[in-house]
Amino acid sequence: MKIVLSAALATFCAWSAPALAQAPAAGFPNVVGALKTTPGCLGVETAQTASGRQVIFAWFDGKKAIVDWYHSDVHQKAMRTVFPNQAFDREPLPDLPEDSGPILAIVSVKFADAPAPDTRSRSIAAIGIELYGPLPGGVAVGGRFAPEAIKVRGLREIEIGTAAR
């Protein structure tokens, strides 16, 4: 879990600084940009919740893609930038089956109200990473949030014009 949390923090920090109108730390890689070009990453969205959490939604086509992302140079650099004294010597997601199917990774960060001591950046009050897979069912009227490449058994897709009648 520590590795997944580190991955979440590193991924989030690269995205959140521009969203908060702060410059990213010197030398911090563009993690969201890299995610968007990563093989097996099917889509990336970012958002801010009403409670102030900054959120990244990243869809992967399976375990191999998310583990490859974890080991990528950009992600490793991001983790080392955020946690310079931490050793990352464990294989991520050891309990997830190889044939898990599509994975939605949600990273959420709540920043502290005040800047961290001796810095201009806000410290992190809470961070979470959660992994989900598509469940059968649901409805999409006029479009959907997940990338089209994510196949959802039983998903009803309805054109907006049909629903408006």
Query: Count of CB atoms within 10 A of residue 6's CB?
Result: 22
Angstrom distances, CA of residue 55 to CA of 58, 117, 164: 10, 24, 31
pLDDT, residue 125, reads: 82
Give pLDDT < 50 ranges for the chain.
1-24
User: What confidence tens digit (pLDDT) does each residue in 125-138 have?
Assistant: 887 889 999 999 99
pLDDT, residue 161, reads: 87
User: What confidence tens digit (pLDDT) does each residue in 106-122 have?
Assistant: 988 888 887 767 666 66
Report the C-alpha gap between 14 and 25 in whole angstroms. 8
pTM: 0.78
